[in-house]
Amino acid sequence: MAAKENSALATSHHTIRLQRRLPAPPGAVFAAWTDPEALALWYLPGDHTWSSRILEHELRVGGRKRLTFGPVGGPTYTELARYEDIVENARLCFAMTILRGQERLTTSMVTAEFMDAGACTELRVTEQLVLLNGEDGAAEREAGWGETLDRLPAAIARIRSS
């Protein structure tokens, strides 16, 4: 087998951890993660040229989440997720695969924890990531999560005011 073919089979493994302190109770933050209309307000990486579309969202253990996202005129990505654990207002765990077109780029386990911190919520997101295509995009994934989570406070405020 040629070296190029071997590199396509290479994987790399990473753990990404992010935290945010959000000015809302855990129930409001949990709702932003679990209500499809709320999720559509903030759950995508990239700048203002990116958009997403939630195609399926079944919030139950074994339920699926499916969405497409990407920059205008750029490649389309698909997120396929399956909820593995749900503790209302406290924790979500989901297995997630990201595709670019038909190519599987990553698979991972994501855990979001919502901890009461008085008038705020301490949000912890941990992703155990496997990159499948021989590339190392862990830094890009961490940056993408940062961009995504930075949108969350405005979305929560919008949800709470409506």
For residue range 84-133, what is the model confidence (pLDDT) as tens digits? 999 999 999 999 999 999 999 999 999 999 999 999 999 999 999 999 98
Give the model's pLDDT for residue 2: 41
pTM: predicted TM-score of the whole model, two decimal places: 0.91
Task: Point out which residues pair with 120 in neighbouring strands.
Answer: 117
Beta bridge partners of 86: 92
Two tokens, residue 42: 């903030």
Q: pLDDT-derived band of residue 46, with 50, 70 and 90 as boundaries? A: confident
Distance CA 32, CA 37 (A): 8
Per-residue model confidence as pLDDT tens digits over 55-80: 999 999 999 999 999 998 989 999 99
Given a contact cutoff of 8 angstroms between Cβ atoms, the answer to whether 94 and 110 are in contact is yes
Amino acid sitting at position 27: G
Task: List beta partners, residue 116.
Answer: 121
What angle (nearest 5°) sits at the alpha carbon of residue 64, between those of residues 32 and 84?
Answer: 85
pLDDT at 133: 82
pLDDT at site 7: 59
All structural domains of the chain, each given as residue ranges with its CATH number in brackets, are 10-161 (3.30.530.20)
Pairing type for strands 120-131 and 12-22 reads antiparallel
What pLDDT, on the 0 to 100 scale, is given for residue 6?
A: 56
Strand partners, 103: 100
Cβ-based burial of 60 (10 A; exposed 0-12, middle 13-18, buried ≥19):
exposed
Q: Is 97 exposed, middle or buried (0-12, 13-18, 19+ CB in 10 A)?
A: middle
